[in-house]
Amino acid sequence: MTKRFGGLVATHDVSFTVERGEVVFIIGPNGAGKTTLFNLITGYLRPDAGVIRFRGLPIQGLPPYRITAMGVGRTFQIPKPLAHLSVVENVMLGAFLRAGTYAEAERRALEVLERLEMRELARVEAGSLPVASLKRLEVARALATGAELLLLDEVVAGLSPAEADAFVGILRRLPEMGVTAVGGVEHIMRVVVSIADRVIVLDHGTRLAAGRPEEVVRDPAVVEAYLGTKFARREEAP
Amino acid sequence: MSGGRRWLYAGSLAALLLLLLVPLGVQNAYYLEVLFRIFIFAALGLAWNLVGGYAGQLSLGHVAYFGVGAYAFTLLTLDLGWNPWLGVAGGVGFSLVAALVIGSITFRLRGPYFTLATIATAEILRLLVLNLQDFTRGAIGISTPPLFPGPSADRAFYLAAVLLAAVAYAFNLWADRSRFGYYLMAIREDEDTAMAVGVNPARTKLLALLPSAAITSLAGSLYASSFHYIQADYIFSIDISNQAAIVAMLGGAGTALGPVLGSVILTTASELFKEVFQTAHLLIYGILIILVVLFLPGGVIGFFGRRSRRRAQREPGPFAGSLSGEEGSPRHSSSSST
Ligand SMILES: Nc1ncnc2c1ncn2[C@@H]1O[C@H](COP(=O)(O)OP(=O)(O)OP(=O)(O)O)[C@@H](O)[C@H]1O
Ligand SMILES: [Mg+2]
The Cα–Cα gap between B112 and B106 comes to 11
Tens of pLDDT along A102-150? Answer: 999 999 999 999 999 899 999 999 999 998 899 999 999 999 999 999 9
**Would residue B99 count as lying in a domain?**
yes
The Cα–Cα gap between A52 and A48 comes to 12
Does A86 reach chain B within 8 Å, measured CB to CB? Answer: yes
Q: Which residue has the higher pLDDT, B295 or A234?
A: B295
- pLDDT, residue B304, reads 78
Candidates B189, B196, B199; nearest CB to A74: B196
- pLDDT, residue A216, reads 80
The yes-or-no verdict on residue B235 having pLDDT over 60 is: yes
Give me the mean pLDDT over the B51-79 stretch: 95
- Closest chain B residue by Cα to residue A96: B179
Q: Which of A12, A34, A202 to mutate to test the pocket of ligand 1 (most atoms within 8 A of CB)?
A: A34
Cα atoms found within 13 Å of the Cα of residue B220, Cβ hemisphere only: 38
**Would residue B216 count as lying in a domain?**
yes
- Asked whether the beta carbons of residue A97 and residue B198 sit closer than 8 angstroms, the reply is yes
- pLDDT, residue A187, reads 77
**Would residue B103 count as lying in a domain?**
yes
Residue numbers of A between 159 and 178 with CB closer than 8 Å to B = none
The yes-or-no verdict on residue B108 having pLDDT over 80 is: yes
Give me the mean pLDDT over the B202-215 stretch: 97
Q: Do residues A83 and A37 touch, judged by C-beta distance below 8 A?
A: no
- Asked whether the beta carbons of residue A102 and residue B178 sit closer than 8 angstroms, the reply is yes
Interface test with B, best of A96, A101, A149 (most B CBs within 10 A): A96
User: Which residue range is the domain that position B203 belongs to?
Assistant: 24-237
**Would residue B210 count as lying in a domain?**
yes
Q: Which of A4, A25, A36 to mutate to test the pocket of ligand 1 (most atoms within 8 A of CB)?
A: A36
Burial B20-34 (b: 16+ CB within 10 A, else e): eeebeeeeeeeebeb
Residue numbers of A between 13 and 72 with CB closer than 8 Å to B = 42-44, 63-65, 68-69
- This prediction has a pTM of 0.87
Mention every residue, 6+ apart, whose C-beta is less than 8 A from residue A49.
Answer: A1, A2, A13
Tens of pLDDT along A67-108? Answer: 999 999 999 988 889 988 899 999 999 999 999 899 999 999
- Closest chain A residue by Cα to residue B2: A103
Which percentage of chain B shows pLDDT scores above 70? 88
Question: Structural domains in chain A?
Answer: 2-235 (3.40.50.300)
The yes-or-no verdict on residue B297 having pLDDT over 90 is: no
A152 three-state secondary structure: strand
Of A83-97, B2-16, B189-203, the least confident:
B2-16
Tens of pLDDT along B152-161? Answer: 888 999 999 9
Interface test with B, best of A70, A78, A93 (most B CBs within 10 A): A93
Which protein residue has the closest C-alpha to ligand 1 atom 26?
A: A30
Q: Is the ipTM of this complex over 0.95?
A: no
Q: Which residue has the higher pLDDT, A31 or A225?
A: A31
**Would residue B227 count as lying in a domain?**
yes
**Would residue B331 count as lying in a domain?**
no
- pLDDT, residue A204, reads 85
Amino acid at B227: F
**Would residue B108 count as lying in a domain?**
yes
Alpha-carbon A234 to chain mean position: 21
The yes-or-no verdict on residue B57 having pLDDT over 90 is: yes
Work out which ligand 1 atom sits closest to the CA atom of A32: 21
The Cα–Cα gap between A148 and A144 comes to 10
pLDDT band, residue B305 (cuts 50/70/90): low
Give me the mean pLDDT over the A147-163 stretch: 88
**Would residue B10 count as lying in a domain?**
no
Count of domains for chain B: 1
The yes-or-no verdict on residue B326 having pLDDT over 50 is: no
Give me the mean pLDDT over the A150-170 stretch: 86
* Ligand that lies nearest to the alpha carbon of residue A36, given by its number in the listed order: 1
Give me the mean pLDDT over the A211-215 stretch: 83
Ligand 1 shell residues, CB under 6 Å: A 5, 8, 10, 28, 30-36, 77, 154, 186
Of A183-187, A194-198, B62-66, B233-237, the least confident:
A183-187
The Cα–Cα gap between A170 and A118 comes to 12
